[in-house]
Structures are given as structure tokens and as C-alpha cells.
Chain A
Amino acid sequence: MFATSTQRSFWMFKDENDVSNARLSANIKYISSRGRNMTVEEQELHFLNVTEEKILIMSYEYQLRDFCRKFLPPMPRYVIGTALHYLKRFYVNNSVMDYPPKEILVTCVYLACKVEEFNVSMDQFVGNLKGDREKAASIILNNELLLMQQLDYQLTVHNPFRPLEGLMIDMKTRFPTFSDPERLRSGIDEFLEQVFYTDAILIYSPSQISLAAIIHSASTSKENVDEYITKILFSEDQKRLLNLIEAVKKIRVMVRNVQTPHRDVIKALEKKLQLCCNPDNNSESPAFKKRMKQSFDDEESFEDGQYPSANSDQVRSMLMGMSEMGKI
């Protein structure tokens, strides 16, 4: 039930400012730790600022979706939705500079598959990746626990797809003057796809988002569902109606403002990221490998063969291969 869910209690922000502030403090925390010997100017030059981080995160959201779309067997969209929620939640409290986003994003998808009971084996899963699959598997397993911890084990996600189906059925039964609501479907789907690139999913409830999608789709196809909203859904509750109108307005603005980041911009930011990312958490850095090796030498019974000897080129090619599949 959404009303009592951890999503509502712990992963809903007041507004866009609230989300931005969380990201900002993650950004500042990282910079003040890694750049403590730098001047402010040096820091600004060396590190990504929060706006740049946000652009990068968005590009990973696109990559995530492209990866999932091409996934075999075909992945239900609520798995994709849950994975996108995980990615967003992870980088609300962490800097992209701190944890390598390409690794985190595949891990988000992997975890979402399990939580949503989309039953794929690890072999099947990494079969969808290019490059060294064994390494990919070990990267995922290595990040899985970290991801769960960062999500505070709150893994149940409420996506807008289910309330949408409820609303569609409700419209068909209680709002028969509106002929064939299914006509709105393609507009709705398009809207719901876009909404995942915004922070709306961290601010508004799944049912508000699905209602926004219906209203948006209706208005773009010159239809009107106002009567359904005012006379049927919220006929007795003026306050909730006003709330909803306000929410829908804001969600639509957020979706309208979605700007696909430009390829060149991403490239430049990626380059910058390579220089300012945390070597301790970056599987391609010597510091990381050294640390990993140490911890494995201590542990005899380590089964999953992490990446102590990971060939960094292989890892990179695997992850790059993934982004090349994207359309960015």
C-alpha cells in the first residue's frame, strides 16, 4: 500500500528544491573530502558541479532505459521503472564522482529484476552486456550490497503503471461519456517515459503521476477529461482537487522541460569525471585494485572471484559497449 510505504515515508521530497539540496550536499561532501587541499577555484575546475552531475545522471537514465529495452527476454516496464527509481535514489545521496555510474546502473537493473520477480539468471543477465561477461558479473555482485545499503533496504517501488490501469478501468466504468479511453494510451505511455527523466517521481505519488499522464494525453489530443477529475474522482473533496491540479500542473511542467543532454556535453563531462572520480571506488584505478587484493588475501573463502586482476580495458570496453548501444 503506497500510503504506508517506505517510498512515501523516505523517498518523497517536498519539491524540486528539496531534491536539489540533497544532491548538492552529496556533491559538497565529496568535493570537500577529495579536494581538501585545493583552493575553491581549483575545486571548481577539477570537480563536477551539481548541475553537471545532474546532466550526467540523466544520460545514465537514458542508458539504463536503452539497455533494458534491448534486454532479452523482454523486460516488463515496471522492472525498468523500479531500476530507474533505484538509480535516482542512489544519486540523490551520492555523488556520481564517488561511485562509478555505469556500474551502479547495471546493478540497479539487476536488483530490480530480482525484486520485481523478473526471473533471469546472472548468465542470462550479463549475456545482454558486451565485453567480458565474467567481469561484468563480478562488478554487479560487488556493487549489489552497496546499492542495497544505500537504498536502506527499501526496495519496494510503487510505479505509476498500476494506478494508471486502475484509472483507465475507472474511466471506462464511471465516465462512459468519454468514448474509448484507450485512444489516450500512446500519449500516456510517452508521458510516463519522459516523467522518469524528471524528479517528479521523487516528489509526487504514483497515482498523481498517472493522472497527470492521462490529463496530458487528453489535452494534447484535444480531448477533455476535466469532468472526470472534478465531478467523478474528486467530487466531494475540493481541497484534494486543488492539490491535485497544482501537482499535475507541476508534473507537466517538469516533463515539458526535459532536455536530452547533448552528446558533446556528455563526452566532455565523462572526460572530467574520469579525472575527478573516487579512485577507491573505481574498479579501473590502481588504488582500488590494491585495496581489493588486500581484502581478498584476508579472505580464504571468497567464491565470487571479484576483480582483483580485472583487466581494466576489458571492464571499460564492457561498459562502453553498453553506452554505445544507446542513442545519446
Chain B
Amino acid sequence: MDYDFKVRTSVERTKVEDLFEYEGRKIGRGTYGHVYKAKRKETFATSDINKLISADQKEYALKQIEGTGLSMSACREIALLRELKHPNVINLQRVFLSHTDRKVWLLFDYAEHDLWHIIKFHRAAKANKKAVYTPKAMVKSLLYQILDGIHYLHSNWILHRDLKPANILVMGEGIERGRVKIADMGFARLFNSPLKPLADLDPVVVTFWYRAPELLLGARHYTKAIDIWAIGCIFAELLTSEPIFHCRQEDIKTSNPYHHDQLDRIFNVMGFPHDKDWEDIKKMPEHPTLLKDFKRNNYQTCSLMKYMDRYKIKADTKAFHLLSKLLMMDPTKRFTSESAMADPYFQEDPLPTSDVFAGCPIPYPKREFLSDEEQDDKSDSSKQQQQQQQQRQHASQSGNSNHGHGHHPQHPSQQGNMQGGMHPNYSNHPGHPQQQSHPQQNNSFNQRF
């Protein structure tokens, strides 16, 4: 065959629209781009892919990176994903480039669920006083697999830097049923250059609710401990179905790491740290501001124990004990992924399962397709979100705020009342009394979702 022809056909063959059906199948969108639920098209002329067609009824997530060309964050995402291989880390199957319009597409396995949707579902069920039937060990299994994935990343000297429920995917029906996949490594970076002040690169990276206190106090370096804090937050949110450090988002000043309201929220839950609990707090760049703005006495009655007790998580449980180790204020005292995985919580019945649904029916709905009109309808309510996005873009330069590949609407109005909490533990005692929602939670909670 003519060489030129070969080249031409191989280029044609790699056109994403020729290989995959995705039109009208959008499942997510945001500043990061669009995500589609994609299936392989049936017809192929060339023999080498033929083999795949007959067997491959698999679904994929196809992410079109926003904008033309490659932002730094997109480059980083591809560079990292290409190196990674772990059952609990999302697997990049293939990259498509469209040379004519300079669009970049990333092909992943399709994950039907994510913790953002799962938690939302439980919260809604709780508001409607409906029981959700889930395996007793589900939260434990989820946490274990999150830790496993993060342990893999950390031992490869990669920090995630943006862990939050939306980035924790869970596989639906299929061979990987109920398996956690950590996604959205756009902000992740190798940190085997310990002297590089990471804070210089991306002034704001972690979503505020999941940001560790040392970051809020101006820490110059991202660490493994920062990811662990976020996992602690996610664990608490799984147990209570409320974001533990929920905070109003309006006055985010992205250029400044110091965030008064978020710190206030953390102290309201955890109490104000004693010097002996966190000796190096004095060395934090924003420590003087902290002393100026906060009074220890205001938080004297606060503790994680009290907070969790409101959700019927007792201080003498292994779950609480592990949570308190993940949410250590002093980053040097926080558990590592390794020590967390060895915690007795995981050795105690019910044991974690590799299918987090443990073979039970999956109660959560499948992802819905989004229409393009929907977006226009919401243009009013999204104004504020746009501003926030712009701020974030500005802050991160690369302009890629990231999310899991599900639909994470930036539009609050559609979400209805989410103030109820779900049943703690995801276990299913139908008669469990409904939780009081705490005072900070009001409409502003919706803002975020």
C-alpha cells in the first residue's frame, strides 16, 4: 500500500466521531469541558479493530477538553494518567486529537455513579423520610478503596490535590461492579520535587470544603497529608451525608489562601487547636492573622466528638476513631494512607467488599443525559457560578476546573431542598429519627451543588 495513503487512513481511523457514538449523550459539563457516555460504532472497515467490535458493547466516558489546544492542566492530566495503572484509579484508554479544530478527547471506562450523586441521593431520601437499602459495609468499602487508590498515587509521588465526592467515581453493573475509581487528576502533580513551592503554581487548588487547615493558613507546600484531610472530609460526609466543613462560598478570594469563614467552620466542628496539638501552627504564614481574627474561647464547646454524635456516630466506634486520625489538625499527626488502611476499622465486621454494593441491587439512578437547552434555561442562575468559575480560572491560569465525569450542575435552583441528612452509616433502620440540620446550613448549602 502507498505509504501516504496508509498515513491518511490511519489518521481517518482515529477520528473520534467515526469510532464512537456520543451525540446527544452528554452526561457532564463544566469549565473542564464536556463528558459524554460513548459507545463504539458498529462499522469498521479495517481488520485490526474488527476483533474489538463484536465483543465491545462496553460503555465509555468520553471527555472533550474545553477550549482548543492543550492547557497546562490538560497536559498534566494526560502525562500523569498515561503512567498510572491501579484498579482504584481511573484508566485512560485512549486520546483522540482532532487536528482541524484542535480539540482533545480523552477516553475512559464509564463509571455510572460517583459520591456526589450518591450522597445527594441519600440526602434527598432522608428529606423525604425514605429508607435507602445499602450494604452495611458500603461506607467502609468506599473508604478502603479510596485509600487504596490514594496510597498508589502517593507511593508514586503523585498528589491528587482536588479530592472531593464528585471526583470519586463508582462503577455500575459490569465486571468492575461497585469499584471505586479516583478521577480528575487535572490538578494532580508529581511531588518528587519537594523544594518546589507548589503553592506558587496553582494558588488555589483544593475545593474549599475539603481544604486542609494548613492550606487555609498559607502553607507553601502541598503534601500527602492534604489529600488525607480531604479523604477524612469525604468519610465524614459519607457517614452523615452532610459536608462536614460546609461553608458559604460567596466571598472566596482565590488569590489568597487564607479563608476566614472556612477556618471558622472547621473550628466550629473541631474546636480551636491547642498549641500542644499542633505545635507548628505558629510557623504558618497566616498565623498572625489567625490570632488577630479568632478567639479560642468562641470554640470551647466544639469538638469532632460532639459533631459526630449529632449524627449518631459514637466516639467509641472504630469509625469515629479512624475519622479523628484522618482529620488531625496537625498534618504531621494525620494518618498516612498506609496507616489508615491498616486501621482496625477495616478488620472489624462487616468487612469491606470489593464490590461496594456487595452484590445487592444498586439503589442509585443512572446518569441522565443533559440537553443543551437546559444550559440556556439556567443562564440566569448560573451567573454567579460563572463568576466563581472565572475567579478559579484566573487563579489556576490553566483554566481547568475539574470534576468527575458525571453531571455536577453548577446551578443551584434545580436541586430543591437538600437540608435533610441521610441515615448515618447508610444502614437501614427505618425508624431512625431525622437529624437536625445545623444552623449554618441554609439555602447557601444549595449554592454549591
Contact = CB atoms under 8 A, between A and B. Distances in A.
Contacts of B99: 145-146
Interface in B68-122: 68-72, 75-76, 78-80, 82-83, 85, 95, 97, 99-102, 104
A156 B82 contact: yes
B97 A145 contact: yes
A111 B104 CA distance: 15
Contact of B69 (A32, A144, A153): A144
A301 B102 CA distance: 11
B397 A155 contact: no
A295 interface: yes
Interface in A131-156: 141, 144-146, 148-149, 153-156
B101 A119 contact: no
Contacts, number: 76
Interface in B175-199: 189-190, 192-193
B89 to A, nearest CB: 13
A146 B97 CA distance: 9
Given A117-B201, A299-B100, A156 B69 contact: no
Nearest to A157: B79
Contacts of A155: 75, 78-79, 82
A33 B4 CA distance: 7
Contact of A32 (B3, B70, B79, B101): B3
Interface string B303-344: 000000000000000000000000000000000000000000
B101 A1 contact: no
B157 interface: yes
A5 interface: yes
A291 B320 CA distance: 65
Nearest to B200: A119
A304 B100 CA distance: 10
Interface in B403-429: none
A4 interface: yes
A150 to B, nearest CB: 11
Contact of B70 (A4, A144, A154): A144
**Which of B68, B78, B102 lies at the interface centre, i.e. has the most chain A CB atoms within 10 A of its CB?**
B102
Contacts of B85: 4
**Secondary structure class of chain A's binding surface, majority of residues:** helix
B161 to A, nearest CB: 12
A115 B192 CA distance: 14
A75 B190 CA distance: 18
A263 to B, nearest CB: 34
A308 to B, nearest CB: 13
Given A144-B70, A299-B100, A302-B100, A6 B82 contact: yes
Nearest to B195: A165
Contact of B3 (A29, A141, A146, A149): A29
A295 B11 CA distance: 14
Contacts of A154: 82-83
Interface string B123-159: 0000000000000000000000000000000011100
Interface string A269-309: 00000000000100000000000000100110111100000
Contacts of B80: 156
Given A141-B102, A145-B97, A145-B99, A304 B82 contact: no
Interface in A1-38: 1, 4-6, 29, 32-33
A302 B155 CA distance: 42
Given A4-B85, A153-B95, A303-B68, A162 B192 contact: yes
A300 to B, nearest CB: 10
A1 B201 CA distance: 22
Contact of B75 (A4, A5, A115, A304): A115
Contacts of A119: 72, 201, 397
B83 A145 contact: no
Contact of B78 (A1, A117, A153, A304): A153
B101 A299 contact: yes
A4 B80 CA distance: 12
A114 interface: yes
A33 B3 contact: yes
B432 to A, nearest CB: 46
Interface in A52-96: none
Contacts of B82: 6, 153-156
A4 B4 contact: no
A159 B60 CA distance: 34
A114 B83 contact: no
Nearest to A34: B3
A304 to B, nearest CB: 6
**Which of A1, A111, A162 lies at the interface centre, i.e. has the most chain B CB atoms within 10 A of its CB?**
A1
Given A6-B83, A114-B76, A155-B78, A1 B157 contact: yes
B75 A162 contact: no
B146 to A, nearest CB: 21
Contact of A304 (B2, B102, B104, B157): B102
6 contacts: A119-B72, A119-B397, A144-B70, A145-B102, A156-B79, A156-B82
Given A1-B155, A115-B76, A119-B72, 4 more contacts: A33-B2, A153-B78, A299-B100, A301-B101
Interface of B: 2-4, 68-72, 75-76, 78-80, 82-83, 85, 95, 97, 99-102, 104, 155-157, 189-190, 192-193, 201, 397
Please name the 8 residue pairs, one residue from A and one from B, whose CB atoms are nearest each other, closest first. A33-B3, A155-B79, A114-B75, A145-B97, A114-B72, A156-B79, A115-B79, A153-B95
